[in-house]
Chains A and B, each alone.
Chain A
C-alpha cells in the first residue's frame, strides 16, 4: 500500500475516533482501505465502539452520577434519624418485641438500648434533624433530599454492598456504573466512563466485584484511579522512555499494524491501532484530570485537600474534576464507618466524630462547588452506606465502647442535584428507629430511580446472558421509580 493510501486509512481511523462516531472504527477504516483497492465496497459490519455516547431512553435529568459510599455502614441514627425515645431508654434492656425472630451479626442475648450520645438540632427550611457532628451538612439540608427509610435485605457488608451496586448479593453481576456506561456511553473518550476512587486505606468489603462489569463486556468495568503511584495502572511510560520516544515507537507500531491490516483484512486490527492511539491520549488526559494542584488554594481549602495526600476530600474534588470532563459515573468508597464499638478505633465517641469531620466538610464542599459551577443540576450526588445499624448497643464481648451492630431494616441516605427535590426529608421510622413506618424505599427503588434520572428505563435496560435478560433491578418488577424524590 502506498503512502497516500496509508495516510488516508490513518486519517479515517483517527477522525472516527476523535469524533467519537458510532459505528466501528475498524470497519469504517477498512471500508476506506478496500475502496482504495478498487474493490467492491462491503456494507459496514456491526462493530463496537462501545463507549461512544448513546441515545438515552428519555430526556435525562442528570448527565453524571457521583456516589459517595461510606464503607462499613454509618450509624445514621446518630446522623439524620433523631430518636429521643432511645435517649430516654438509654442503657435499658431492649424490649423483647424488637428481638423476636431477628438475627444479628454480633449481638448476643438481650442487648441494651443506645440513645445517640451526640446532640441534634433542626436546620434549614425543611427543618431536617442533623447531628452536631455534621455542621456543614446541616448548612446545606435545603439542597438535599434526606431519605430516612431505605431498606435492604442483607446485613453482612460484602453481600449488602454487592446488592446495592450490582443488584445481586452474590458476586458476578454488573455494577451500576457499568450499566450506565453500557446504556449511555461516555462523553469523553480519553477518560474511562466509570471511575472508582477509594479512600481510608482499605477497599470496600465487597472488593473489586463492586465495580466489575459482570456479564457485560469488560470495557464497561470500573477503572480504579489510585491515590498513590500511577493514577491508572500502567499509565506511565517506562522510566527512561520520553513521550517523543513513545510516539516514535507507536508510529512504527501503527505502520506495521496497518500493513498487516491490509494483508489480512481483519477490521479488528484497525480497531487495535485506534486503541493504541486512545491509550496515548489517555496517558495525557488522566494525569491532567487527576492533578489537583491545578485548583485554587481556596478550592483546596474548601474541600480540605492537601495535595499529595490521599483522602476522601481529595476524591470528592477529583470526582468534580472528572464529571466536569464528561466522566459518566464516579464511585467513591471511604473506609472506616463500621461503628461496632469494639474499641476506640470503631466507636461512637472517638472514631465516628473523626470520620464525620472529614466527610462532612468534603461532601459539603462538593455540593457547593458543583453548585457554584452550575453543574449540580446535571450531576446526581448520592451519599450513603450499605445498611443501617441497630438502635441497641452492641457491647461485643462486654466492650465498654459504644457502637451499633448491623441492621438491614432501615437507614438514611441523601441525594442532591440531578433533578432531585431540594429541601425534603422523606420517610419515617418507628420511635426506636427499628422499622420503617412510612414511605419505605427499597434498594431496587433506589437503583431504578438513579437509572431513570440518567435517562434510562430501568425496566428495559437489560442484557441477555445465560438465557435471561439481566437487569440491574433484578428479574422481578418490584422496583419502583420513586417520583416523590424528584423535582
Chain B
C-alpha cells in the first residue's frame, strides 16, 4: 500500500524511479499521514479542478475544490462536498462511488479514479481534510540543516541535504571524481569549453589544499564564463537574428543585446538588477545606454512582415508573448492558457492574465518591419572613440577653425551605429486601454482591466510604480515566493542536467514536486541574502561534495535510482548543441576566442535559405576567424536554425524555451561524422596531432587521446587507435587521390613537410576521437 500511495502522490513522476525506495511497512504498521500536496492535490487537479476550480465561468454545481473555503462551504444544493473527519457526510466521496449517472468524474470525461485513489481521498477526509496551499506559492522558509551520519563527507550545506536523503534511502554517495575528470567537468560546466592540456597539467601539479577552488575562481573570472551562461539566457529570451513568421526577415541589429548579456554575466551583475534592467531599464531614472540596451530582452519577440497581416493582431501577439515569457522565466509559471480561459490548475484567471498583460501593453513598438523604436547603439570601443572625438571637437570649437570643425563633425557622424530595437513607453496621453480579449482574439474586446499582478500573489510593493518597473520590483521582492527558487533551480539544472524541480518551466500545481524541497529553499534564501550573487551561487554548488562525485553507475544505482534523482553519483550527460561545436573547435586549435560582436555565418549546406516572401537567400558564409566562433554567435534564423545545432536539440527560438530535451539520435552521429565543418576540424586536429604529438605514431595517439579526454590514455585505447591509424595509412598510401581529399579538401594545403596519406589517416583518427562518447559527454 505504501508503495502505491507514494506512486500516486508523485504526480508527473520525477520520483517515479525512486518511489519504490520507501521501505514498505510491515503488516499492521501504521500508515504515514496523508500529505495534501503530495497525495491529494494532484488527484483533485487532474480529475476535479477542470470543472470545480478557480474559473467561475466553467465551474459546475457552484463547487470549487481548489480552496478550503470552496470545498467545505455549503453548496447551492444544500450539501457539503467535504466535511472534515466525516467521510459519510462528505458528498464528494459519495459521488466518487455513485452509480454511473451520478458518478464523479463523469463517465463521459473519460477520467476514472482507481480504488486506491478513492481510498486515499477517504483517508484524507477522515484525517481532517487538511488543505495546504501549493508549496511553491508559499515563501521559502530557511530550513534547519539535516543531521547526517557521515558528517565528514559534506563540504557545505548542500551536501547535508543531499546526503541525509541518500542515507534515508540507504544509498551512499560515490567517491570523489579524480582530478582529470573534475577539471574537465567544471571547465565545461562553467565556461562551456574543456581545459587546455596546460590547464590540466597545472591542476594535477598543484598540491595546495585549495587547488580545486583556485581552478573554480579562474573559470568564474574567465571571459568565456559569460558566453556559456549567456547561451542559457538566450533560449529563455528567445533571442534570434531574424524576425520569425513566414518571411522571417533578417535582424542584423539584435546582437548588441547578446553582448549586453555576456557582459552582465561576466561582471556578475546581481540577478535582481539583471532582471530590472531587462524588463524596465528604460523606466529607471536617467537610464544609461546599457540600461536601455538591456530592454531588448522583450524586443526579441517576433514581427510578422507577411503581406496583408494586421499590425494590431501581431502587436498583440508580441505583448502576449512578453506577458507569458515574463511569468515563465522569472516565476516558472505557465500563463499561456489563461489568455483564453482561466487557468484550470493554477490560481491565474483570464482577468489576471490581461491585467498583467496591461503592464506590457504600453510600449511604442507596433509590429513594424523596421522594428521601431530603436536606439543608436555603439560598442564600448566606439563609445571611447566618440568621447575622444567629441572632446577634440570641443577644443576646435574654442579655437574656431571652421574647416577643422567640419572635418571632425564628419568623422563623428561616420561612426556606424546599430539601430537596436528597445522598449519605449508611450507617453501618458497615448496609453492604450487594455481589455480582456475574448478567446484571446484581438478583435473581441471584453471587460476593461487595469494593470495589476495576479491576485493570488503578493501585491506590488507599496512604493512601486504601476508599470514594468513595478513588475520588476515585484519579481525581485523578498515577498515573491518564486523568483529566487526558479532562478537557483535553473542554475542547478544546468550543472546537474535536471532541476531540483524537474519541470523548470512549471512550478505550478501540475509541475513536478521538488526532489529536495529544503535544499531548494536553502539555495533560494542564500541567493537572495547574498545579494543575488550568481557567481557566488555557482561556486557554492561546484565546491560541494555532491558535485564532485564520480559519475560511475553501479547496478545498485540502476536498481534504486535509475534516473539519478537522488544524486548518489554525478549525472553524466551529453554536451548541448553549442557545447559540441565549441569543444571540437577548441580541440582542433581553430577556436576564435573573440568575445561579443555581430553574429557570424559558419559554413552550412547550400540552399537552406529559401523562405517564402523573402529575398535573403544567400547565406553569407563567414571567412577567417569568424568561421570558428563559438556556437552562441552563430546567426540564428528562426525558420532555418543552423542545421547541425538543431540536430543536437537547439531550439528555433520562436518562443521562450525553458529547457532543452536532450536526445540521442542517428542524425547526430551524421553531423559529427560527416558535416564538412567537423571534417575541417578533424583535419586541423590531425595536423595538430602531428605538430604537437611527438615523433612516433604512438606518442601522437597518446597526445590525441590526452587532448580530447583530458586524462592519461589507457593502453587498450592507444592500441585501438594505433591499429586504426596504421590501417588507414596503408589505405591512403594506396589511394593518393582519396588521401588528398581527406587531408586537404576542407582546410587547404598542407604545411611543408606533411604527407597527405599520413594526414588523411590522422584526419580519420581525429574524426573518430571527436565522436567518442566520452568526448560528447560531460562526466
- Name A's B-contacting residues (CB within 8 A): 27, 30, 34, 39-43, 45-46, 71, 103-106, 156-159, 170-172, 198, 201-209, 212, 217-219, 223, 226, 228-230, 232-242, 245-246, 248-249, 252-253, 255-257, 259-261, 263-269, 271-273, 275-276, 278-279, 282-283, 335, 405-406, 459-460, 464, 466-468, 475
Contacts and interface: CB of A to CB of B under 8 A. Distances in A.
Given A241-B742, A253-B772, A468-B334, A282 B666 contact: yes
B644 to A, nearest CB: 7
Contacts of B612: 71, 157-158, 202-205, 207, 335
Contact of B666 (A71, A217, A278, A405): A278
A201 B675 CA distance: 23
B607 A42 contact: no
Interface string B574-613: 1000000000000000000000000000000111001111
Sort A-B residue pairs by CB-CB distance and give the 8 closest, nearest first.
A105-B308, A240-B741, A207-B639, A45-B562, A158-B246, A265-B553, A467-B510, A205-B246
21 contacts: A43-B559, A157-B306, A203-B639, A205-B306, A209-B638, A223-B667, A235-B670, A239-B741, A239-B742, A249-B767, A256-B717, A257-B772, A259-B716, A264-B551, A264-B553, A265-B553, A268-B574, A269-B773, A269-B777, A279-B669, A467-B506
A42 B558 contact: yes
Interface stretch (B23-31, B146-154, B718-726): B718-726
B640 interface: yes
A249 B640 contact: no
Contacts of B676: 238
B537 to A, nearest CB: 25
B interface: dominant SS: loop
Nearest to A240: B741
A466 B641 CA distance: 23
A240 B246 contact: no
Contacts of B555: 34, 39-42, 265
| Listed residue (B317, B505, B641, B724) with the most chain A CB atoms within 10 angstroms of its CB | B724
B725 to A, nearest CB: 9
Interface in B555-575: 555-559, 562-563, 572-574
A257 to B, nearest CB: 5
B679 A252 contact: no
Given A171-B655, A209-B652, A158 B306 contact: yes
Contact of B738 (A232, A235, A242, A406): A242
Nearest to A171: B654
Contacts, number: 266
Given A205-B306, A464-B12, A266 B572 contact: yes
B223 interface: no
A45 B562 CA distance: 6
B640 A207 contact: yes
A264 B738 contact: no
B307 interface: yes
Contacts of B768: 249, 252-253, 256
Nearest to B672: A234
B559 A42 contact: yes
A214 to B, nearest CB: 10
A275 B738 CA distance: 27
Contacts of A241: 738, 741-742, 764
A260 B613 CA distance: 50
Interface stretch (B352-360, B371-379, B468-476, B657-665): B657-665
A45 B20 CA distance: 13
Interface string B665-704: 1111111011110010000000000000000000000000
Given A27-B558, A241-B738, A249-B767, 18 more contacts: A45-B563, A172-B655, A202-B610, A207-B246, A229-B605, A233-B644, A233-B675, A234-B671, A234-B673, A245-B764, A249-B768, A257-B773, A259-B717, A269-B773, A467-B506, A467-B508, A467-B511, A468-B510
B17 interface: yes
B245 interface: yes
Contacts of B640: 203, 207-208
A256 B664 contact: no
Contacts of A239: 741-742, 745
Contacts of A278: 666, 669
A156 B674 contact: no
Interface string B162-182: 000000000000000000000
A122 to B, nearest CB: 35
B135 to A, nearest CB: 15
A219 B771 contact: no
B654 A209 contact: yes
Contacts of A282: 666, 670
Interface string B395-421: 000000000000000000000000000
Given A223-B667, A253-B768, A234 B720 contact: no
A238 B679 contact: yes
B428 interface: no
Contacts of A246: 673
A105 B313 CA distance: 12
B286 interface: no
B649 A264 contact: no
Contacts of B644: 233-234
Nearest to B654: A171
B110 A459 contact: yes
Given A106-B308, A157-B246, A245-B728, A232 B670 contact: yes
B774 A260 contact: yes
Contacts of B745: 238-240
Given A248-B727, A466-B506, A156 B771 contact: no
Contacts of B738: 240-242
Given A104-B308, A171-B652, A475 B337 contact: yes
Contact of A268 (B110, B336, B572, B641): B572
Contact of A275 (B306, B552, B665): B665
A103 B663 contact: no
Nearest to A172: B655
A266 B17 contact: no
B248 interface: yes
B667 A103 contact: no
A461 to B, nearest CB: 13
Nearest to A189: B666
A87 B723 CA distance: 79
Nearest to B682: A238
Contacts of B191: none
A466 B333 CA distance: 8
B309 interface: yes
B670 A279 contact: yes
A269 B562 CA distance: 15
B670 A272 contact: no
B56 to A, nearest CB: 18
A208 B573 CA distance: 28
Contacts of A240: 737-742, 745, 760
Contact of B110 (A232, A271, A460): A460
Contacts of B607: 226, 228-229
A198 B511 CA distance: 39
A203 B245 CA distance: 12
Contacts of A223: 667
Contact of A234 (B304, B562, B670): B670
A233 B572 contact: no
Contacts of A267: 553, 558
Contacts of A235: 670, 674
B124 interface: no
B554 A218 contact: no
A172 B674 CA distance: 29
B505 A466 contact: yes
Contacts of A466: 334, 336, 505-506
B330 interface: no
B14 to A, nearest CB: 12
| Listed residue (B511, B611, B669, B768) with the most chain A CB atoms within 10 angstroms of its CB | B669
Contact of B652 (A208, A237, A263): A208
Nearest to A275: B666
